[in-house]
């Protein structure tokens, strides 16, 4: 929540660099921008000229009572109307294009950057914050830079045009009209500030309420079991009544603003009618001129109101721009060098034709590693793993198991030393190449909402149904899948909530099998499942690990025993390594660990045989 409060709601000083960056995004479609602004210029000119033509019509037709020139005026009006139609069309089409293209370009870059940012970024950044950047910020910006920008050009030009024409026609009346301008501008700024401030408070309350909704919904079970409904409701009540107060305030200011402007406009019209009327009766000016000024007052006030609005929105949009640019410009801590990208492609555009086949040999060579905040976890760590070897990582909490695995995945990189894959530093090839050949089955596997079929297919999108079914059968997921009414087309629900933990694991194994990675990382789940599923999982793991290099953070004795090599880790060092039988014979660390942690499980697992 603090994250939101600090960042979201501050006014910022005009920052040319941010706008330069955003405007450079508009270069590819500057044609649309220019055409839109051109349409706005023509419309502004028409808005200026149109009352002027009416004035001549009044003077030439009504005053002289002759219809001689009427056909010309009719022809002219038809022309003007078609021109207006055409220009409005051009205005809407081009503004719409600018808006769509800009928001697409911004979102594309932000999305690409999100793929390049390391895991650690997601540890620090709330998902809601990222979502807001991708949705409301990019929408704000593209709105203001399309409709806003074109409206701004229209308003400014029309006001300039009208002012010039007024002074040419009649200086006195022009001065009278403009005399209310300072009042108008002052009032507009005052109200806009008040309204924006209230809105900002509303949004702040709103994000608190959304957060509270979120907690209320996701924590509903806990709330109920702890009988916290009352407290929750009171908190929520407090939040919403704040929101109501600010909303009423905003509505009040918005409600007062328009009538005040209208009042000034009417007052100005009164002045013009008074002074202009006297001039008309003294025959100093024509009725047409009087009409012209009355008409101009009307068309003068609209852009002033719009401008106040647009300028206020520009200020907000700058905050959006800053946050988006911050995200887009964020340097990922782990990235491919230019040379590597040249050959292997970037995070989105792979150049698979240049990718070498990955065999699966992994080597840590004098790897020292520490997290950006923290102490050294590994120092001069060495490990050589043959292609196809199954490694089990065991050790107490904090021993460095996850760290080793994270390094292999290149979620982090060695602070010193190298990690070699097939004998070559993995930094010399792209992250995309590595990740395409690497599978990671997490402790709590994530399923995407969609069907079981789709979820297994994520492993390899082009897999046929038969291949999916085959994989599911191998890991024994098929048994429970076909029991569902919809079989493979069963919807798993958001995050797979409609499936049990064991079922999710089996599906994630099928997914890994279909992807057929050369290196597989498995963070074994500790959660207990029923005996039958447990047996299935044990067999599934054996099948999934077969024939590939694997690193398993192991909790199951069955996995550990059948691995080719067990690494016993302590404080980032390998204390012992070997097969289960070798290590048991040593009667040292592994033996102790085994007797403490696993013995009970052995009895349990053997009971299940
Ligand atoms: N993101 C991080 N930032 C800073 N320090 C970290 C981070 N992750 C882990 N560490 C530290 O690195 C050390 C090794 O942690 P690691 O997560 O590799 O242990 P582990 O063997 O996987 O433990 P567990 O069995 O609890 O998962 C610990 O001292 C831990 O505090
Ligand atoms: Mg861990």
DSSP state of 485: T
Using CB atoms within 10 A of its CB, is residue 458 exposed (0-12), middle (13-18) or buried (19+)?
A: middle
> Of 599, 595, 597, 560, whose CA–CA distance to 580 is shortest?
560
- pLDDT band (50, 70, 90) for residue 382: very high
pLDDT number for residue 12: 58
Q: Which of 369, 371, 409, 568 to mutate to test the pocket of ligand 1 (most atoms within 8 A of CB)?
A: 371
Q: 383 Cβ partners below 8 Å, 6+ apart?
A: 362, 363, 364, 404, 567, 574
> Measured between alpha carbons, how far is 264 from 276 in angstroms, rounded to an integer?
18
469 within domain boundaries: no
57 within domain boundaries: yes
Q: Could you tell me whether strands 565-570 and 573-578 are parallel, antiparallel, or unpaired per DSSP bridges?
A: antiparallel
What is the layout of strands, in order, in the sheet containing 416-421? 376-385, 362-370, 416-421, 424-425
Q: Could you tell me whether strands 565-570 and 549-553 are parallel, antiparallel, or unpaired per DSSP bridges?
A: unpaired
**Shortest-distance atom of ligand 1 to CA 400:** 18
Which residues on adjacent β-strands are paired with residue 394? 568
Residue 603: is its pLDDT beyond 70? no
Residue 30 Cα distances to 26, 90, 146, 220, angstroms: 6, 14, 11, 51
CATH number of the CATH domain containing 135: 1.20.1560.10
- Contact, 432 vs 347, CB < 8 A? yes
Q: Ligand 1 center to residue 516 CA distance, Å?
A: 29
Pick the most confident of 136-150, 211-225, 234-248, 385-399.
385-399
Atom 9 in ligand 1: which residue has the minimum CA distance?
Answer: 403
Site residues for ligand 1, CB cut-off 6 Å: 371, 373-374, 377, 395, 397-403
Q: What is the pLDDT of residues 137-174, one digit of tens each?
A: 888 889 989 999 888 899 999 999 999 999 999 999 99
> Measured between alpha carbons, how far is 237 from 231 in angstroms, rounded to an integer?
10
Number of structural domains the chain divides into: 1
Atom 16 in ligand 1: which residue has the minimum CA distance?
Answer: 400
Residue 605: is its pLDDT beyond 60? no
Token duo for residue 563: 């691995």
Atom 13 in ligand 1: which residue has the minimum CA distance?
Answer: 398
pLDDT number for residue 392: 95
pLDDT number for residue 102: 94
131 within domain boundaries: yes
Q: Could you tell me whether strands 424-425 and 549-553 are parallel, antiparallel, or unpaired per DSSP bridges?
A: unpaired
* For the CA of 393, the nearest ligand: 1
What is the mean predicted confidence (pLDDT) over 356-377? Answer: 91
585 within domain boundaries: no
Token duo for residue 516: 């057929």
229 within domain boundaries: yes
Domain that holds residue 242: 2-329
Q: What is the pLDDT of residues 548-582, one digit of tens each?
A: 999 999 888 888 888 999 999 999 999 999 999 99
**Shortest-distance atom of ligand 1 to CA 396:** 25
> Measured between alpha carbons, how far is 131 from 110 in angstroms, rounded to an integer?
11
pLDDT number for residue 36: 93
Atom 18 in ligand 1: which residue has the minimum CA distance?
Answer: 400
- pLDDT band (50, 70, 90) for residue 385: very high
27 within domain boundaries: yes
* For the CA of 372, the nearest ligand: 1
pLDDT number for residue 607: 53
> Measured between alpha carbons, how far is 503 from 490 in angstroms, rounded to an integer?
13
Q: Ligand 1 center to residue 604 CA distance, Å?
A: 29
Regarding pTM above 0.75, the answer is: no
- Chain centroid to CA 605: 46
pLDDT number for residue 583: 92
Q: 221 Cβ partners below 8 Å, 6+ apart?
A: none
363 within domain boundaries: no
Residue 278: is its pLDDT beyond 50? yes
- pLDDT band (50, 70, 90) for residue 608: low
pLDDT number for residue 598: 64
**Among the listed ranges 225-229, 333-337, 377-381, 548-552, which one has the minimum average pLDDT value?**
225-229
455 within domain boundaries: no
> Measured between alpha carbons, how far is 513 from 510 in angstroms, rounded to an integer?
5
Residue 337: is its pLDDT beyond 90? no
């Amino acid at each position: 929540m603090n994250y939101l409060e600090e960042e979201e709601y501050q006014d910022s000083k005009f920052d040319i660099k941010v706008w330069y960056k955003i405007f450079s995004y508009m270069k590819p479609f500057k044609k649309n921008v220019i055409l839109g602004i051109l349409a706005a210029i023509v419309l502004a000119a028409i808005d200026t000229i149109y009352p002027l033509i009416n004035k001549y019509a009044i003077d030439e037709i009504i005053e002289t009572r002759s219809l001689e020139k009427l056909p010309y005026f009719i022809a002219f009006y038809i022309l003007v109307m078609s021109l207006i139609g055409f220009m409005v069309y051009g205005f809407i089409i081009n503004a719409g294009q600018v808006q769509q293209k800009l928001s697409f370009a911004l979102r594309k870059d932000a999305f690409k950057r999100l793929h390049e940012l390391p895991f650690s970024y997601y540890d620090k950044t709330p998902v809601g914050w990222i979502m807001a950047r991708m949705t409301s910020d990019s929408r704000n910006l593209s709105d203001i830079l399309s409709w806003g920008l074109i409206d701004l050009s229209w308003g400014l030009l029309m006001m300039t045009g009208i002012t010039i024409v007024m002074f040419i026609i009649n200086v006195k009346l022009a001065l009278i009209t403009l005399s209310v301008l300072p009042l108008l501008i002052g009032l507009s700024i005052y109200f806009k500030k008040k309204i924006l401030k209230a809105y900002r408070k509303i949004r702040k309350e709103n994000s608190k309420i959304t957060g509270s909704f979120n907690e209320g919904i996701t924590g509903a079970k806990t709330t109920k079991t702890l009988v916290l409904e009352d407290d929750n409701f009171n908190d929520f009540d407090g939040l919403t009544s704040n929101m109501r107060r600010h909303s009423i305030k905003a509505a009040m200011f918005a409600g007062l603003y328009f009538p005040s402007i209208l009042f000034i406009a009417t007052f100005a019209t009164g002045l013009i009618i008074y002074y202009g009327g006297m001039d008309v009766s003294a025959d100093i000016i024509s009725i047409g001129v009087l009409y012209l000024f009355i008409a101009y007052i009307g068309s003068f006030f609209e852009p002033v109101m719009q401008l106040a609005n647009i300028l206020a929105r520009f200020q907000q949009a700058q905050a959006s721009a800053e946050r988006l640019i911050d995200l887009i410009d964020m340097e990922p801590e782990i990235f491919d060098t230019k040379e590597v990208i040249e050959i292997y492609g970037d995070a989105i555009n792979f150049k698979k034709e240049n990718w070498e086949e990955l065999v699966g040999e992994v080597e840590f060579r004098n790897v020292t590693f520490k997290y950006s905040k923290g102490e050294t976890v590994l120092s001069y760590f060495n490990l050589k793993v043959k292609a196809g070897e199954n490694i089990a990582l065991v050790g107490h909490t904090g021993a460095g198991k996850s760290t080793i695995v994270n390094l292999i995945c290149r979620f982090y990189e060695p602070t010193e030393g190298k990690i070699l894959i097939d004998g070559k530093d993995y930094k010399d090839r792209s992250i995309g190449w590595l990740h395409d050949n690497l599978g990671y089955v997490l402790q709590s596997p994530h399923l995407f909402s969609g069907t079981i079929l789709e979820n297994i297919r994520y492993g390899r999108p082009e897999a046929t149904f038969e291949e999916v079914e085959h994989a599911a059968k191998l890991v024994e997921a098929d048994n429970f899948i076909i029991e569902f009414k919809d079989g493979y087309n069963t919807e798993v629900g958001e995050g797979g909530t409609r499936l049990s933990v064991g079922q999710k694991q089996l599906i994630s194994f099928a997914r890994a099998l279909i992807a057929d990675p050369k290196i597989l990382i498995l963070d074994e789940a500790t959660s207990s499942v029923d005996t039958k599923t447990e047996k299935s999982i044990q067999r599934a793991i054996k099948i999934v690990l077969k024939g590939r290099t694997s690193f398993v953070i192991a909790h199951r004795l069955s996995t550990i025993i059948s691995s080719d090599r067990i690494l016993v880790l302590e404080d980032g060092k390998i204390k012992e390594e070997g097969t289960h039988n070798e290590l048991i014979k040593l009667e040292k660390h592994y033996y102790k660990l085994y007797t403490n942690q696993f013995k009970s499980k052995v009895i349990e697992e053997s009971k299940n045989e």
